[in-house]
Chains A and B, each alone.
Chain A
Amino acid sequence: MTTLNNSTSEPVRLLFQSVERLVVEPADEARFAITARDAERAFRGTESLKQFRKKFNAFLLFLHKWSVERSSKLAGVYFGFLSGATIAICTESTDYDFVLSREIAEMELTIVKQFPWCICDAIQLPRGTWESGYSLQDTIQIYGNGK
């Protein structure tokens, strides 16, 4: 049985082995299951757990790909249940980036089309605000290390 380490202060880490496959770091499996279960509670309809997990993983892979394509601007991207389902996008800049914000809005509209079950919002967090309003330790780390 996997034991949950409640004392950890790090987000759940994923290994994106390809655009098709993600793997949870062994030490984080239990905490990943908690966030995945929260997502199931919030978003799973009548479909099977296996079907939902497949959709959820596809959603995480989509976010990872989006993040990699903007790696020069991003320090970390996280998904979790913060104030509702939230994608926290931590940027390298200390300023609010209006160009990036357009791309984030576009990404949110893509989510509505491709993952309509996932009612979530994304927020751009400039450096200096990353942990001031949210506790990212309860999230899944999609990209980067937020350092």
Chain B
Amino acid sequence: MATESNHRKQADHNQACIDALDAAQFPDWAVTMHFYKAVHLTEVLFLNHEVVGKRNDHQLRNQLIKTNYPSLWYDYSDLLKLSALARYHCFQISTKQLDEAKILLTRIESAIVAMLK
């Protein structure tokens, strides 16, 4: 099972991918990388707080976020849903939505960093 440190490294790795990606050409994958950085940051939080509960799929992880960190859910769910729309529903991510995704991730990261022990 991945450790808190593993998830931190993966979050950093995903940030490096965001920085390297041509977001104007691949806004769908840019939003998705933002979302997956958020996934690893929430895993860091769960492990740091020793949150118990199955989270081997998105729905179970979502439930844990809603239950334990409802204030995070608003921003996290927007990233989740924009990413899902882009990947599964062929929704075209606009520049405005991509800009919003960056703001959402920044807020999620700040909130999580503030909550870590």
Which A residues fall within an 8 A CB radius of B? Answer: 83-85, 95-96, 98, 101-102, 104-106, 108-109, 112, 119-121, 123-126, 128-129, 132-133
Contact = CB atoms under 8 A, between A and B. Distances in A.
Interface of B is mostly: helix
B81 A124 contact: yes
A101 B66 contact: no
B59 A84 contact: yes
Interface string B74-88: 100110011011001
B89 A132 contact: yes
A135 to B, nearest CB: 12
**Max chain A C-beta neighbours (<10 A), residue from B70, B77, B94:** B77
A119 B58 CA distance: 11
B88 A133 contact: yes
B100 interface: yes
25 contacts: A85-B59, A96-B82, A96-B97, A98-B78, A98-B100, A101-B81, A105-B73, A105-B74, A106-B74, A108-B77, A109-B73, A112-B63, A112-B66, A112-B67, A112-B70, A120-B59, A121-B58, A121-B59, A123-B81, A125-B85, A125-B89, A126-B91, A129-B90, A132-B88, A132-B90
Contacts of B62: 121
Contacts of B58: 84, 121
Contacts of B57: 84
Q: Which 4 A-B pairs have the closest CB atoms?
A: A133-B88, A129-B89, A133-B89, A84-B59
